[in-house]
């Protein structure tokens, strides 16, 4: 039967536009830091789960095989789990089933991403995510489809670009306090509004940057956790859902797949009223409107109501529901899989009260992290408790 799973260590590298370290080396650094913080060595680890987004970034086929020695997986059972942009939060979910099932007692979960090898720009990897027959001939890019989604969200609920820009201002400001951050900055709504349009209504400062980086956590079973630490953080709920490949056929105003994934995780964690029971949230924010979209999918805001919460300051670090206290992808950076894992690391530190200058004001006991990806199609959700 299901066993309770604890997070006992976390590690993260710098997030930067171009790192000199190879994917193996980035993985090593994050893994070492996570193991050190848990007071464990590689010998104590029984299995390894890794996550990384498209092989097209590195140009390495079977990337999971290539980097596995960097995370110490030689001679161990290693599996690479993969749900596009949702991979970061899904990687610890993979670790969760390694431990919760009773298969292994200790599992190292590592998410690594090196987007910079792709020239002239990492966005080119996304050309190959589209249907070969129906979509690629249109020369579609990711920014196109997200601008459609942002436009639809604004149209349906009457949301202004300025309200959405508040998210970028908050997250980039929060990131100033994150030692790994790539784009921490004090900016204003008018900075966002006046930034260069990339694909209207998406502007430069609405978007997270391409990044290199890695992040890792150590998961253990309850009896191991009790021997290691007095303050484990429990991974009490996990959920994931994929919607249809036909993204053109659904209403882009609301992420139903996030709702389903969140309900799966909340049910597992015994959460009945998420808005009351969740103290801190790290929803996926590759674009500023996505944070709002995802808060609604996570049942932390009513449909179309997340912008008002943001404008009212509810989602600030000292607010009633701090959202992306880390600085999120907009501020810390977006090495895709590693960015999702960064959110898990942030909850670990927030729930242990070890987030330093980023520590939220309220006494945070329960947190939720979420990532999103594919063709605006997948939601992955993790609920953590101290």
Residues that bind another protein (CB under 8 A): 1-3, 22, 53-56, 58-69, 73-84, 90, 96-98, 100-103, 117, 125-126, 128-129, 131-132, 238-246, 256-257, 260-261, 264, 373-375, 377-378
CB of 377 to another protein, least distance (A): 6
Token pair for 212: 């290199």
CB of 316 to another protein, least distance (A): 33
Q: Please, which residues bridge with residue 9 across strands? A: 218
State the DSSP H helix or E strand holding residue 192, giving kind and residue range, or none if neither. Answer: helix 189-194
Matching residue, tokens 């980023």: 358
**CA pair distance 301, 297, nearest whole angstrom:** 8
**CA pair distance 140, 157, nearest whole angstrom:** 26
**CA pair distance 24, 26, nearest whole angstrom:** 6
User: Smaller CB distance to another protein: residue 200 or 223?
Assistant: 223
- In this structure, what DSSP letter does residue 208 have? P
User: Smaller CB distance to another protein: residue 60 or 199?
Assistant: 60
CB of 262 to another protein, least distance (A): 12
User: Smaller CB distance to another protein: residue 180 or 221?
Assistant: 221
212-221 and 106-114 strand pairing:
antiparallel
User: Smaller CB distance to another protein: residue 260 or 294?
Assistant: 260
CB of 15 to another protein, least distance (A): 21
CB of 172 to another protein, least distance (A): 27
Evaluate whether 235 touches 219 at the Cβ level (below 8 Å).
yes
User: Smaller CB distance to another protein: residue 2 or 275?
Assistant: 2
CB of 323 to another protein, least distance (A): 25
C-alpha pair distances (Å), 74 with each of 16, 65, 242, 259:
28, 10, 32, 38
User: Smaller CB distance to another protein: residue 163 or 374?
Assistant: 374
């Amino acid at each position: 039967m299901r066993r309770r799973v604890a997070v006992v260590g976390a590690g993260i590298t710098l997030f930067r536009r171009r790192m000199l370290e190879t994917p193996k080396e980035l993985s090593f650094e994050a893994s070492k830091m996570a193991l050190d913080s848990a007071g464990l060595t590689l010998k104590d680890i029984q299995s390894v789960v890794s996550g990384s987004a498209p092989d097209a970034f590195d140009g390495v086929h079977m990337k999971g095989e290539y980097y596995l020695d960097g995370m110490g997986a030689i001679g161990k059972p290693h599996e690479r789990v993969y749900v596009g942009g949702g991979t970061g939060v899904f990687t610890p979910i993979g670790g969760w089933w390694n431990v919760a099932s009773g298969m292994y007692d200790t599992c190292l979960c590592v998410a690594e991403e090196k987007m910079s090898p792709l020239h002239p720009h990492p966005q080119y990897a996304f050309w190959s995510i589209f249907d070969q027959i129906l979509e690629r001939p249109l020369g579609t890019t990711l920014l196109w489809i997200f601008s459609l989604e942002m436009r639809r969200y604004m149209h349906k609920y009457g949301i202004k670009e300025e309200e959405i820009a508040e998210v970028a201002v908050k997250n980039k400001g929060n990131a100033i306090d994150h030692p790994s951050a790539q784009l921490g900055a004090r900016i204003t709504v008018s900075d966002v509004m006046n930034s260069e349009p990339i694909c209207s209504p998406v502007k430069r400062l609405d978007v997270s940057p391409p990044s290199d980086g890695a992040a890792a956590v150590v998961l253990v079973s309850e009896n191991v956790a009790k021997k290691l630490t007095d303050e484990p953080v429990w991974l009490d709920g996990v959920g994931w859902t994929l919607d249809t490949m036909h993204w053109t056929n659904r209403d882009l105003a609301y992420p139903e797949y996030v709702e389903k994934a969140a309900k799966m995780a909340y049910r597992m964690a015994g959460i009945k009223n998420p808005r009351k029971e969740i103290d801190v949230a790290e929803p996926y924010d590759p674009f500023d409107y996505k944070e709002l979209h995802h808060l609604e999918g996570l049942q932390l805001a009513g449909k179309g109501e997340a912008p008002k919460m943001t404008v009212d300051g509810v989602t600030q670090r000292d607010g009633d529901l701090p959202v992306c206290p880390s600085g999120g992808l907009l501020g810390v950076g977006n090495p895709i899989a590693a960015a999702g894992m960064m959110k898990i690391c942030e909850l670990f530190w927030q729930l242990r009260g070890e987030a330093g200058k980023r520590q939220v004001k309220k006494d945070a006991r329960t947190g939720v992290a979420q990532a999103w990806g594919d063709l605006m199609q997948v939601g992955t959700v993790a609920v953590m408790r101290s």
